[in-house]
Structure 1
Amino acid sequence: MESTQVVQVLRDRGYRVTPQRVEVINIVLEKLAKREHPTFNDILNEVKQKMPSISASTVYSILRLLEDSGLVTSFEHNGRTYYDSVSPHINVVCVNSDKVIDIVDENVVNLLRERGVQPLAITVKALCAGQ
């Protein structure tokens, strides 16, 4: 999804589109396009480089709005919240390195769908070789 599409979804739902919201949206979408899994602190640090006066609570509220609107999803690991795209895939969290690897497996997704489950993301904690 592109920034203009996210902005339009928010407008269609009656939300104001502020410069702060646009900046957070751009950062999140840029990181997700690179298949990264940014944490709240990753996003906050990057947005503060461009908007030094933005508060942590503002960034948190924007991320919550994006998640509540179904535009991103999140998962927790070791006390950190990671943000992710809503396309169905498997997040493998390497517990020995805190690295997150995306795996797209239509067989797993289809198996869940056959059982009435519409997955957004599946999180698996694992020991990863070479990490």
Structure 2
Amino acid sequence: MYMEISQMTQALKERGYRITPQRLEVINIVMEKLAKKEHPTFNDILNEVKQKMPSISASTVYSVLKLLEDGGYIVSFEHNGRTYYDSTTPHINVVCTNVNKVIDLDNREIIEMLKKQGIFPTSIVVKAICAEK
């Protein structure tokens, strides 16, 4: 389940962070993409934020993403030198190396099996060759 943006901003305020228009815009874009089950890269997020706030710096976007990840609101994984951002809802990301695509799989059996072993996954990444979709 995705945390509501208002809950997230309140939690950040309680941790001493100011909610600036730039931070709010990055948060909105990231959460919108994750709600659509997209796996945005840093450049995807930066480009979209720059359309609305042309003067925003790459370091500002990076620092907001780092803040969200450090706070446990998002996770990231890497493939081919790119960092992808994702939700913390337990699921499996299949990175199709032949078509450079990421597919979400919701396999409760695997997740439950891991939990029984005392492992509580926030991100599972599987690299695979996928049939063209």
- Which bin holds the TM-score, normalised by the shorter protein? over 0.9
Partner Cα distance (1:5, 1:94) in 2: 34
Which stretch shifts more, 8-17 or 52-61? 8-17
Q: For the residues of structure 2 that align with 1:8 and 1:103, how far apart are their CA atoms?
A: 31
Shift of residue 6, structure 1, vs aligned partner: 1.2
Q: 2:124 is matched with which residue: 100, 104, 122?
A: 122
Tell me if 1:15 matches 2:17: yes
Runs of 4+ residues deviating >2 angstroms: none
Q: Could you tell me the TM-score, scaled by structure 1's length?
A: 0.98
Partner Cα separation in structure 2 for residue 52 and residue 73 of structure 1: 26
Report the AA paired with residue 76 of structure 1.
Answer: E
Q: Give ranges in structure 1 of 5+ residues lacking alignment.
A: none
How far did residue 49 of structure 1 move? 0.4
The correspondence for 1:41, drawn from 22, 40, 43, is 43
Residue ranges of structure 2 left out of the alignment (5+ in a row)? none
**Residues 99 and 132 in structure 2, CA contact (< 8 A), matched pair in contact too:** no
After TM superposition, give the deviation of residue 130 of structure 1 in Å.
1.4
Q: Deviations over 1:11-56 (max 9, x none)?
A: 1211111111000000000000100000000000000000000000
Aligned position for 1:66: 68
User: 1:78 pairs with 53, 77, 80, which one?
Assistant: 80
Instruction: Give TM-score scaled by structure 2 length.
Output: 0.96
* Residue in structure 2 matched with residue 107 of structure 1 by the alignment: 109
Q: Distance in 2 between matches of 1:56 and 1:17?
A: 18
Corresponding residue for residue 88 of structure 1: 90
Identity rate, percent: 68
